[in-house]
């Protein structure tokens, strides 16, 4: 199980803590989705269970522990996640976990559990986990992973050591993506994915970039007083409103950065034209207005009207 380059520093510090026997029994990892964090904690679990880890702590991949881990049949490992069709992690799952922690070990020097997405534990499930966090069984590692740490109960957070998993730098994300086989331009993928490389790779196999380019073309038409707002709204009626809004906000932010960096920062070709149509004040104003609209986007409003109101904002810049 390979980790990602941007995770190297945090991996080293965890392995050092383990080497000094200082690894907290409950670790709460938080970090953005789309950055390989699930892979990271799987690799950590694998390494903690491995009988003969490498000098950097990586699992050997050969020992009997690694073999059963790879077969997803490790008797000292348990992963708790959302069951199919369920919105939360249930108390029954945590009870099973508590029972598991009470068993004697069979293969490895320790027992490891992963809970992900940890913020999805419902209140009963979270309360049921407290005892295992407070009075951990010997040689036990509880690894929680979440993209939304603020949604966890404070009682859970306070019993864990919090570890923030990093976003890759732009350079790291670029380097990693450039080693993948891509159909779309790398920079556009990365921008659309808000800098998250694994999300960018996923986007590459969808028609999202085409959709996005078409949406931009339609907005530009509105700004130029071309195209019918009614027809364009009808076209996008069934699309994800949040997504359409987020694209616009990302574009405006890129243009804003570009305007303030005196042209030093490159703008993707798709935005070059938009830039010629808007001055800095207009960009800021549009950004604020769209943010206002975003607050409404989760309400069950008429979808077509909502999209019309976005288009009208652009038309008003005409």
d(CA 28, CA 308): 43
Shortest gap between Cβ of 108 and Zn ion (angstroms)? 9
Q: Report if residue 110 touches Zn ion, rule: CB under 5 A.
A: no
Computed over its alpha carbons, how large is the radius of gyration of the chain? Answer: 24
- Whether the Cβ atoms of residue 25 and residue 138 lie closer than 8 Å to each other: no
- The footprint of Zn ion on residues 63-82 (CB under 5 A) is 63, 66
> Is the four-CA dihedral 306, 311, 312, 314 of positive or negative sign?
positive
Shortest gap between Cβ of 64 and Zn ion (angstroms)? 8
Comparing CA positions, the residue from 211, 283, 219, 210 lying closest to residue 240 is 211
Count of residues that bind Zn ion according to CB under 5 A: 5
Residue 157-176 contact track with Zn ion, rule CB under 5 A, x = bound: --------------------
How buried is residue 56: exposed, middle or buried, by Cβ count under 10 Å (0-12/13-18/19+)?
exposed
Q: Report if residue 60 touches Zn ion, rule: CB under 5 A.
A: yes
Nearer of residues 2 and 298 to Zn ion, judged by Cβ: 2
d(CA 36, CA 4): 7
Shortest gap between Cβ of 110 and Zn ion (angstroms)? 13
Q: Report if residue 112 touches Zn ion, rule: CB under 5 A.
A: no
Nearer of residues 66 and 89 to Zn ion, judged by Cβ: 66
Shortest gap between Cβ of 55 and Zn ion (angstroms)? 13
Comparing CA positions, the residue from 5, 8, 25 lying closest to residue 17 is 25
Nearer of residues 65 and 188 to Zn ion, judged by Cβ: 65
Q: By the criterion CB under 5 A, which residues form the site for Zn ion?
A: 50, 59-60, 63, 66
């Amino acid at each position: 199980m390979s980790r990602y380059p941007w995770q190297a520093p945090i991996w080293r510090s965890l392995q050092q803590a383990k080497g000094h026997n200082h690894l907290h029994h409950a670790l709460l990892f938080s970090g953005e989705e789309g950055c390989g964090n699930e892979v990271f904690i799987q690799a950590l679990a694998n390494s903690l269970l491995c009988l003969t880890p490498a000098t950097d702590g990586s699992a050997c991949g050969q020992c009997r522990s690694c073999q059963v881990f790879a077969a997803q049949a490790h008797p000292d490992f348990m992963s708790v996640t959302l069951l199919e069709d369920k919105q939360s992690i249930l108390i029954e799952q945590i009870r099973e976990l508590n029972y598991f922690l009470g068993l004697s070990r069979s293969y490895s020097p320790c027992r490891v559990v992963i809970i992900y997405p940890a913020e999805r534990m419902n209140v009963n499930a979270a309360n049921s986990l407290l005892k295992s966090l407070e009075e951990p069984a010997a040689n036990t590692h509880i690894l929680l992973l979440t993209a939304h740490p603020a949604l966890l109960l404070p009682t859970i957070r306070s019993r864990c050591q919090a570890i923030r998993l990093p976003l890759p730098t732009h350079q790291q994300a670029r380097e990693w993506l450039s080693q993948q086989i891509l159909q779309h331009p790398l920079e556009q993928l990365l921008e659309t994915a808000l800098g998250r490389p694994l999300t960018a790779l996923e986007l590459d196999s969808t028609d999202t970039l085409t959709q996005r380019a078409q949406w931009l073309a339609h907005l530009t038409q509105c700004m130029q007083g071309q195209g019918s707002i009614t027809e364009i709204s009808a076209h996008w009626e069934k699309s994800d409103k949040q997504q359409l809004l987020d694209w616009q906000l990302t574009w405006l932010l890129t243009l804003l950065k570009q305007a303030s960096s005196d042209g030093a920062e490159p703008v993707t070709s798709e935005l070059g034209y938009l830039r010629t149509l808007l001055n800095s004040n207009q960009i800021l104003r549009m950004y604020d207005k769209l943010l206002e609209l975003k607050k409404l986007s989760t309400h069950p409003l008429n979808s077509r009207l909502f999209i019309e109101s976005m288009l009208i904002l652009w038309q008003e810049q005409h």
